[in-house]
Amino acid sequence: MENSKELKLQYPCKWEYKAICESHHNIKEIATDVFDKREHSIKKSNNSKGGKYQSHTITTLVHSDDDRKSIYEELKKHKSIKFVL
């Protein structure tokens, strides 16, 4: 039995990425690096228990599976981001 589930999304649609970085990094600068002039919004989510890390929800309009995955990869490889969901 195949266990992989493929998302069935209708594009364009809004998509949320959860980005986790150290508290001293500026998430707005990071998002500008990744999204350039692409419209996006940032909402602070949580701080880690010790306050070292912050998570943020970044929302943007994606136009295809490739577009959605490409943004994920760009966020993931950014030097200031520790983890992306």
The dihedral region occupied by 64, where left means phi > 0, alpha psi between -120 and 50, and beta the remainder, is beta
pLDDT band at 7 (very low <50, low <70, confident <90, very high): confident
pTM (predicted TM-score):
0.87
- As a whole number of angstroms, the distance between CA 51 and CA 65 comes to 34
- The band of 8, judged by pLDDT with boundaries at 50, 70 and 90, is confident
pLDDT at 82 over 90: yes
